[in-house]
Amino acid sequence: MWSGRPNPALVAEVADLAPGTVLDVGCGEGADAVWLAQRGWTVTGLDISGVALDRARAWAAEQGVEATWAKSGLLEADLAPGSFDLVAVLYPPLPRTEDATFERALADLVAPGGHLLVVHHAPPREGEVHHGPGHGHHGDDSGESHRPDFAAMVAPASVLPVLGDGWAVETDAVRERSVEGGAGAHHLEDLVLRARRVG
């Protein structure tokens, strides 16, 4: 269920950064984008879902902030390289490819001195079931658990190798996240990467 609250990893990693231009990749219904706009960031929210973007626009209007909303995939978007002080990618449903197409595209959008923030679910430990609430993982009625193929998606581990010497890794961590559910709160682990472009 959508709460309207920003992601805790985003809050922790961005709270001390000076506001500038930010691209929220896969912005969904706008909770993170609106939080950023409230803190003085100039926000572009990117998503392939027109329904989600309509809700994001409505949420931004309700909260009294402005943002630019773009219905597009990452590779199809008309975005200039090096044009964002922050590129935030939380739980991206982006596929890994042999040539790291999406990882390179994300890094290319970050301005010198800017940051790339990538947050994704940590794979379940042996014997655990990962439900991924609130991030587009849908079960079926078969009674079997849906388990995403974590190795097939863009995540901090696939982004790190493309950054190279022109980047300084400031955060590479596992963070616990509390999620409210029907049976009360439970905890999930997220992988968090924040890197600054230094060259």
CATH number at residue 33: 3.40.50.150
* Domain-located, residue 64: yes
* Domain-located, residue 29: yes
Q: Which residue range forms the structural domain that includes residue 150? A: 20-126+146-197
Per the structure, the count of domains in the chain is 1
Looking at residue 123, its pLDDT comes to 81
Q: Are 39 and 61 spatial neighbours (Cβ–Cβ below 8 Å)? A: no
Looking at residue 161, its pLDDT comes to 96
Rounded mean pLDDT for each run of 10 residues along the chain, 199 residues in total: 81 96 97 98 98 97 98 96 98 92 98 98 67 41 50 92 96 81 62 94
Looking at residue 4, its pLDDT comes to 80
Looking at residue 186, its pLDDT comes to 53
**Residue 21 identity:** T
Q: Are 95 and 152 spatial neighbours (Cβ–Cβ below 8 Å)? A: yes
Looking at residue 142, its pLDDT comes to 39
Looking at residue 143, its pLDDT comes to 38
* Domain-located, residue 88: yes
The pTM for the full model equals 0.85
